[in-house]
């Protein structure tokens, strides 16, 4: 990696201040950022570690909303269990080393098109809390590796409304074991949401036709024979666009069947 | 009763204590005082002309000691190829040069253009980024068939084409085979790909060059399976250093799987540069570099035709293979698709006529060479796949079809030049049917189907030629080396032994199993024997470890040397016991005069050898140390039968291996636990090849699977618990231990079993799919079933 300065503030305010420097970048669990640095694919002037900020860690319940601090590691979310689908999802990210370091904030901020958390955030209709505002998940994920975050803006927490029933069905890419296709289905008081990760060139997206079908009949059978258009799907070594589109249908049905 | 010591005992692997406690000494653990570090600037294009390499700015960067380019290696030898294949027309293969650093052209992504030696690794890398290399990019040659077309861009301008050789075997059989196929009652044809693989040993390659001006001596520490071979190849052919001025040390090595047999540019560079800058020079490969510089494996495209008569007897076999050599010839690359592949095409069967054609092709990709099994997995895969397809076409049981055609009488001379000394293929098949519980398959299939899954069963046989190899034979076939092995047995005064072997252990457990052999012969505790390997300074010249050769060839050398020790010790004992040599018996570590209770202990004899106060000095020398070289009379022929059961999710195409059984005939077994481990690891790699692994290039020669994000390695949950058995034993007839070798069997025997099982599963679901290429990924399965 290239040389960089390093700072480890203990409050969000100090972190934001530190990030004011040109080309400064937050470092959370480092599970994405450190490999990128080692390959010399990024050249930040300063890394601002978020690991010393206690107000960004931990999971709390506010009424029917689960608030997960952005610096909370996957292993802690996996162990929580309040929203079973969310904990299952976190427990199947990477391996124990990744889960004990990687954070929810890092995952949603990175918005990898194959990452799992974006599907949970979008599928549950979460709210992304930053140092300066709250952003609905629907507005947060703007494209592959792109989000609504401004330069220097930090995700501080993610708020998940408790669903009536939800599940995440992930089909692993054989090498990385990220999602080749992952579908998060949730039934809430406000309707049904179906969020798809891994499949689209545009990153995580909501599969509206499936939501409509499930709104009137929340059963796997309601999605029989359905699959999204393959046009915008990713095509790579591990699967064609048509295969991914097909898998979205399969994984959505499995998620509905597993929802509890 | 299983034995608890000596030959046949499952002694715990003594080397694991240091491996599991972090006490191993790997090459990267070695740091030589004053060492500098090298970083290689590597080509990021697959093919192009190097118009200029400007190092002027980079040379001024902090810490830079010196920057080398191809020009520094003009007049230095290129990396040699250890095997010359003669083509169908009696002409030698086309053999291009392989410079240490690129000269004139770059020929694959990863080809080294320049090397920066600096005080720290980071400084070397910083300076490498400041080098300006101008490359005039040319179209890349990636596809082998396209590479052979008229007008295709040439990888090597000085060669007449991209064809390395067009090999026919057995050429005299060509017409007879064509005729037999034309006249056959049935011909089954199959086109398949044996995909390119990356070996991926856990430890990446490392090299440290060191030079002493005062003594004019070079030392190379390297991650090698065969330090003596590296010393000879690099010393004699690249750098012109005689053996007595060059020491090569391969300490603990974290896996090789073939990829650490070969002599690599980085080894020659570090040795050369250490003298040039008068400082030790160290290189540690990153995993990314490993993907684009370690020799790859396999990469065959094959058409195979099997002819049968009206009674389903095999009458002829014809294969047509394109084998990828990559951009340069790696050390043993030409031998893999030819002598390690064509000679195994008879498999376990009596096919009277066989013709194998192999076209080896240069492309703008990483060189391809031996990878666990080397040629034999390619032979086994195509043969066992085509037999399975034939059984399906003919509507006969695939096991019955195999049994009907088995070789049953030994020795058996195949039509492809090798002679199997011994075997019993029906016995291993019987054993397989038992341990795989084939009778229970139908019930298990029903149970899977009740859960919406398809279940398939795949069975196959394999045979391999191991214990490589009789030197006079391989010499005739083009090898530029002998393939004997050596051992020096040194007995110390107080009775302990040190055995120095020319073979090398990089995970195989030699330190344990070799000690079992020697201890057993003398009748002493295994812990009295230490095995030393890996350093040319303290081991006799040997050819190293690959091709499942170490116990069969290296072990035999050890037996010969130990026999010499015992013969001499008996003379000493006879003197001490005032008896005649011929009357002395050695048992349980004591020498006895036959028929009496007069005896002397092993330790008393060894002490007498070194404190020869009462000693037959007029007849024999003091001391007890012997060396033997062993050159095998034939290959060994491990063989067996494997069965795989898979479950297939028809909705996603995902295949999981539910059961795997292996019945192997390895001849005599030294350490059953180590043999189990070798088979387990081999099957794991075979399942990896069958279901997961693929080294893919795009049409521009860019490596698509250049990291573990895209190159799928098998993990623990990709493999089931295995059921392995090696009780069917027909001991090798020509080596003293009756051993055959077991290192590669698992990787050779398992891919066809998996793919046969997948086809069976698909067929059971009504899908008329009769072939699918590896890796059998979910997307491929789904596409095949819905295409
Ligand atoms: C082997 C392996 C397997 C994996 N498997 C999966 C998987 O199956 N599914 C999956 O979803 N993910 C997977 N991941 C990714 C993992 O979940 C990462 O932890 C996650 O993507 C990034 O989180 P992090 O905390 O490590 O962030 P970092 O790597 O530290 O940062 C990632 C990016 O986000 C920025 N960032 C970090 N925190 C914040 C914040 N609070 N506010 C604003 N920006 C921030 C950083 O500047 C950086 O650009 C895997 C990773 C590895 C190494």
Chain B positions touching A39 (Cβ under 8 A) are 288
Ligand 1 pocket: which of A24, A32, A41, A117 to mutate (most atoms within 8 A of CB): A32
Q: How far is A173 from chain B (nearest CA, A)?
A: 9
Mean pLDDT of B155-179: 97
**Is the bond preceding residue B253 a cis peptide, omega within 30 degrees?**
no
pLDDT in tens, B345-373: 999 999 999 999 999 999 999 999 999 99
- Residue B516 pLDDT exceeds 70: yes
Contact B710 A250 (CB under 8 A): no
- Final residue in a domain of this structure, among B599, B630, B661: B630
- Partner-chain contact A174 B778, CB within 8 Å: yes
For residue B714, is it within any domain? yes
What CATH number matches the domain at A165-259, 3.30.390.50, 3.30.1360.70, 3.30.2020.30, 3.40.50.1970? 3.30.390.50
CA dihedral sign of residues A121, A124, A125, A129: negative
Region B23-44 average pLDDT: 98
CATH number, span A5-49: 3.30.43.10
Q: How far is CA A44 from the centre of its chain?
A: 23
pLDDT in tens, chain A (260 residues): 899 999 999 999 999 999 999 999 999 999 999 999 999 999 999 999 999 999 999 999 999 999 999 999 999 999 999 999 999 999 999 999 999 999 999 999 999 999 999 999 999 999 999 999 999 999 999 999 999 999 999 999 999 999 999 999 999 999 999 999 999 999 998 899 999 999 999 999 999 999 999 999 999 999 999 999 999 999 999 999 999 999 999 999 999 999 99
Distance from Cα A252 to the centre of ligand 1, integer Å: 25
User: Which residue, among B286, B472, B591, B631, has the nearest Cα to A38 in the 3D structure?
Assistant: B286
B582, B615, B630 - which closes a domain: B630
Q: What is the pLDDT of residues B634-678, one digit of tens each?
A: 999 999 999 999 999 999 999 999 999 999 999 999 999 999 999
Q: Is the pLDDT of residue B787 over 80?
A: no
* Domain match, B266 and B308 both: no
- Identity of the residue in B653, B696, B786 whose CB atom sits nearest the CB atom of A237: B696
**B697 and B752 in a common domain:** yes
Of B653, B710, B782, the CB nearest to A237: B710
Based on the domain organization, do B34 and B59 belong to the same domain?
Answer: yes
Interface confidence, given as ipTM, is 0.96
B353: left (phi over 0), alpha (psi -120 to 50) or beta: beta
Q: What is the mean pLDDT of residues B547-569?
A: 96
- Say yes or no: B134 and B267 in one domain: yes
pLDDT in the model for residue B1: 58
For residue B3, name the pLDDT band (cuts at 50, 70, 90): confident
pLDDT in tens, B586-596: 999 999 999 99
* Confidence (pLDDT) at A22: 93
Question: Is B195 contained in some domain?
Answer: no
Class of domain A54-161: alpha beta
Per DSSP bridges, beta strands B217-222 and B206-212 are antiparallel
d(CA B384, CA B371): 20
Residue A93 CB less than 6 A away from ligand 1: yes
pTM as predicted = 0.97
Query: Are A215 and A222 contacting, i.e. CB atoms less than 8 angstroms apart?
Result: no
Interchain contact B699–A (C-beta under 8 A): no
Domain extents in chain A = 5-49, 54-161, 165-259
Cβ(A89) to ligand 1 under 6 A?
no
Closest of B784, B777, B781, B773 to residue B298, by C-alpha: B773
Chain A interface, best mutation among B196, B284, B652, by max A CB count within 10 A: B652
In the reported structure, the alpha carbon of residue A94 is separated from the centroid of ligand 1 by a whole-number distance in angstroms of: 11
The residue contributing the CA closest to ligand 1 atom 21 is A107
Q: Are residues B80 and B208 in the same domain?
A: yes
CA of A84 to the centre of ligand 1 (A): 21
B697 touches A: beta carbon within 8 Å: no
Q: With a cut of 80, say whether residue B622 has pLDDT above it.
A: yes
Is there a contact between B270 and B38 (Cβ–Cβ < 8 Å)?
Answer: yes
Q: How many other C-beta atoms lie within 10 A of the C-beta of residue B613?
A: 7
For residue B271, being part of any structural domain is answered with yes
Chain-centroid distance, C-alpha B582: 43
Residues of chain B with Cβ-Cβ distance to A35 below 8 Å are: none
Nearest residue, CB atoms, B779 vs list A39, A238, A250? A238
Residues B302 and B422 in one domain: yes
Q: Indicate if ligand 1 lies below 6 Å from the C-beta of A49.
A: no
Task: Quickly list H helices, B611-744.
Answer: 672-687
Task: Report the residue among A106, A107, A140, A183 best suited for mutation to probe ligand 1: largest number of ligand atoms under 8 A from its CB.
Answer: A106
Number of the ligand 1 atom closest to the C-alpha atom of A154: 42
Q: Shortest Cα distance from A130 to chain B (angstroms)?
A: 30
Q: Quick one: average pLDDT of B443-450?
A: 98
Cα gap B92→B478, rounded to integer Å: 9
Is the domain of B272 the same as that of B343? no
Task: Tell me, yes or no, whether B130 and B273 share the same domain.
Answer: yes
Residues B563 and B655 in one domain: no
CATH topology of A54-161 equal to that of A165-259? no
Distance B7 CA to ligand 1 centre (A): 52
Find the mean pLDDT for residues B392-417: 97
- The CATH number for B537's domain is 3.30.365.10
Does some domain include residue B187?
no
* pLDDT above 70: residue B313: yes
Is a pLDDT exceeding 90 seen at residue B4?
no
Q: Report CA-CA distances (Å) from B678 to B266, B425, B429, B681.
A: 30, 21, 20, 5
- Burial bucket for residue B523 (CB in 10 Å: 0-12, 13-18, 19+): middle
- The answer to whether position B475 is within a domain reads no
How far apart are alpha carbons B88 and B174 in whole angstroms?
11
Domain ends where: B608, B630, B652? B630
What is the extent of the structural domain holding B668? 297-468+634-785
Whether the pLDDT of residue B780 is over 90: the answer is yes
**Domains: count for chain B:** 3
Distance of residue A243 Cα from the nearest chain B Cα, in angstroms? 6
Q: Indicate the burial class of B721 (C-beta count within 10 angstroms; 0-12, 13-18, 19 or more).
A: exposed
- What dihedral do alpha carbons A75, A78, A79, A85 form, nearest 10°? 170
User: Ligand 1, closest atom to CA A42?
Assistant: 49
pLDDT of residue B163: 98
Helix intervals (H) in B312-357: none
């Amino acid at each position: 990696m290239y040389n960089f300065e390093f700072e480890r503030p203990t409050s969000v305010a100090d972190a934001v201040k530190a990030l004011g420097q040109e080309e400064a970048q937050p470092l959370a669990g480092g599970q994405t950022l450190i490999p990128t640095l080692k390959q010399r694919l990024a050249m930040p002037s300063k890394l601002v570690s978020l690991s010393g900020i206690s107000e960004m860690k931990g999971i709390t319940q506010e009424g029917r909303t689960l608030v997960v601090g952005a610096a909370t590691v996957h292993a802690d979310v996996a162990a929580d269990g309040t929203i079973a689908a969310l904990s299952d999802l976190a427990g199947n990210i990477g391996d124990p080393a990744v889960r004990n370091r990687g954070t929810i904030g890092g995952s949603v901020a990175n918005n990898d098109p194959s990452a799992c958390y974006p599907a949970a955030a979008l599928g549950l209709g979460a709210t992304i809390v930053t140092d300066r505002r709250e952003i609905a998940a629907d507005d947060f994920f703007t494209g592959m590796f792109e989000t609504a975050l401004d330069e220097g803006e930090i995700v501080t927490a993610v708020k998940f409304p408790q669903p009536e029933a939800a599940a995440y069905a992930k089909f692993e890419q054989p090498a990385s074991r990220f999602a080749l296709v992952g579908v998060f289905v949730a039934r809430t008081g406000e309707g049904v949401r179906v969020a798809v990760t891994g499949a689209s060139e545009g990153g995580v997206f909501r599969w509206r036709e499936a939501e409509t079908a499930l709104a009137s009949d929340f059963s796997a059978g309601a999605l029989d024979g359905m699959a999204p258009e393959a046009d915008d799907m990713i095509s790579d070594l591990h699967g064609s666009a048509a295969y991914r589109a097909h898998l979205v249908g399969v994984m959505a049905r499995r998620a509905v069947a597993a929802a509890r | 009763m299983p034995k608890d010591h000596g030959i046949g005992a499952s002694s715990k692997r003594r080397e694991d204590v240091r491996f599991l406690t972090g006490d191993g000494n790997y090459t990267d653990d070695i740091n030589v005082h004053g060492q500098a570090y090298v970083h290689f600037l590597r080509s990021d294009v697959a093919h192009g002309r190097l118009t200029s390499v400007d190092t002027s700015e980079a040379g001024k960067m902090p810490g830079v000691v010196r920057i080398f380019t191809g020009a520094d290696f003009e007049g230095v030898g290129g990396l040699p190829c250890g095997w010359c294949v003669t083509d169908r027309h009696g002409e030698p293969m086309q053999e291009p040069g392989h410079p240490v650093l690129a000269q004139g052209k770059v020929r694959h992504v990863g080809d080294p253009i320049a090397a920066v030696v600096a005080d720290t690794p980071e400084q070397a890398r910083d300076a490498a980024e400041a080098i300006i290399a101008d490359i005039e990019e040319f179209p890349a040659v990636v596809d082998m068939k396209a590479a052979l077309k008229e007008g295709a861009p040439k990888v090597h301008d000085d060669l007449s084409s991209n064809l390395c050789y067009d090999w026919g075997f057995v050429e005299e059989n060509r017409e007879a085979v064509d005729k037999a196929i034309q006249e056959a009652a049935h011909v089954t044809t199959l086109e398949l790909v044996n995909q390119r693989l990356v070996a991926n040993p856990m430890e990446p390659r490392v090299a440290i060059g060191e030079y002493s001006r005062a003594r004019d001596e070079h030392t190379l520490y390297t991650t090698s399976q065969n330090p003596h071979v590296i010393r000879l190849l690099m010393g004699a052919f690249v750098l012109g250093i005689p053996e007595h001025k060059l020491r090569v040390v391969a300490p603990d090595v974290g896996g090789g799987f073939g990829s650490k047999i070969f002599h690599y540019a980085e080894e020659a560079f570090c040795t050369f540069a250490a003298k040039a800058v008068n400082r030790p020079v160290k290189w540690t490969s990153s995993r990314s570099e490993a993907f684009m510089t370690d020799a790859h494996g396999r990469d065959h495209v094959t058409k195979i035709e099997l002819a049968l008569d009206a009674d389903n007897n095999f009458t002829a076999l014809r294969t047509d293979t394109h084998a990828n050599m990559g951009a340069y010839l790696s050390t043993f690359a030409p031998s893999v698709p030819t002598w390690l592949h064509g000679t195994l095409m008879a498999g376990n069967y009596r096919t009277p006529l066989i013709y194998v054609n192999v076209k080896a092709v240069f492309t703008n990709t990483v060189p391809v060479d031996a990878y666990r099994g080397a040629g034999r997995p390619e032979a086994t895969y195509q043969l066992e796949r085509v037999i399975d397809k034939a059984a399906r076409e003919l509507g006969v049981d695939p096991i019955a079809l195999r049994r009907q055609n088995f070789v049953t009488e030994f020795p058996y001379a195949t039509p492809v030049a090798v002679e199997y000394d011994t075997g019993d293929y029906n016995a291993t098949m019987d054993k397989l049917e038992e341990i795989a519980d084939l009778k229970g398959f139908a019930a298990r299939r029903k149970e899977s189907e009740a859960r919406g899954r398809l279940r398939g069963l795949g069975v196959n046989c394999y045979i391999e030629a191991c214990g490589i190899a009789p030197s006079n034979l391989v010499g005739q076939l083009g090898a530029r080396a002998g393939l004997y092995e050596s051992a020096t047995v040194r007995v110390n005064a107080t009775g302990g032994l040190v055995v120095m072997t020319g073979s090398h252990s990089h995970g195989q457990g030699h330190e344990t199993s070799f000690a079992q052999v020697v201890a057993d012969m003398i009748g002493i505790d295994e812990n009295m024997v230490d095995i030393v390997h890996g350093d040319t300074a303290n081991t006799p010249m040997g050819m190293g470890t690959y091709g499942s050769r170490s116990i069969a060839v290296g072990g035999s050398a050890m037996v010969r040397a130990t026999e010499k020790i015992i013969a001499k010790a008996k003379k000493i004992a006879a003197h001490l016991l005032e008896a005649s040599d011929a009357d002395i018996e050695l048992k349980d570590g004591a020498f006895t005069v036959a028929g009496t209770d007069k005896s002397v202990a092993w330790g008393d004899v060894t002490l007498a050898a070194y404190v020869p106060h009462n000693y037959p000095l007029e007849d024999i020398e003091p001391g007890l140390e012997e060396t033997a070289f062993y050159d095998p009379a034939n290959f060994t022929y491990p063989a067996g039968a494997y069965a795989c059961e898979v479950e297939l999710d028809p909705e996603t195409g995902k295949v999981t291996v539910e059961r795997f059984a292996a019945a192997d005939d390895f001849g005599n077994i030294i350490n059953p636990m180590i043999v189990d481990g070798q088979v387990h690891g081999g099957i794991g790699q075979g399942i990896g090849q069958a279901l997961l692994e693929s080294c893919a290039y795009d049409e521009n020669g860019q490596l698509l699977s250049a990291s573990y994000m895209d190159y799928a390695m098998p993990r623990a949950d990709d493999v089931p618990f295995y059921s392995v058995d090696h009780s069917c034993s027909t001991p090798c007839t020509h080596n003293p231990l009756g051993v055959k070798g077991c290192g590669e069997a698992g990787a050779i025997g398992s891919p066809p079993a998996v793919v046969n099982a997948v086809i069976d599963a698909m067929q059971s679901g009504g899908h008329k799919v009769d072939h699918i290429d590896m890796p059998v990924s979910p997307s491929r399965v789904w596409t095949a079933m819905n295409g």
